[in-house]
Amino acid sequence: MKVLLPGALHSYTGANLVEAQGDTLLALFADLDRRYPGLRFRVVDEQQQLRPHMRVFVNGLCVRDLGRALQPDDDIAVVLALSGG
């Protein structure tokens, strides 16, 4: 499936759109980490949770549960949440 990544992760992939496989979001990030070592740690913490500043959208719907089941034709977007003042 296609995964859209934020610019902050391009140093790992060299691209903003990559291919990955997985039947859940957790498996998808494991596959991304096999292809692009170190990427997963930037998105998923040691407790297998999304880092607070990361958002993942599956077919346009914001998802926080990494156990979320995926279909091969799903569109995934990883977004870096911004804050400031």
Check residue 31 and give its pLDDT. 98
Residues of the chain with pLDDT under 50: none
Q: Which of 21, 35, 34, 15 is nearest to 70 (CA)?
A: 21
Check residue 84 and give its pLDDT. 59
Domain residue ranges of the chain, discontinuous segments joined by +: 2-80
Q: What angle do CA 9, 26, 31 make, to 5 degrees?
A: 60
The verdict on domain 2-80 having CATH code 3.10.20.30 is yes
Summarised one tens digit per residue, pLDDT across range 61-71 is 999 999 999 99
User: Containing H/E element for 36?
Assistant: none
Q: Which of 49, 81, 80 is nearest to 67 (CA)?
A: 49
Contact residues for 14 (Cβ-Cβ < 8 A; gap 6+): none
Going by their DSSP bridges, the two strands 61-63 and 75-80 should be labelled as unpaired
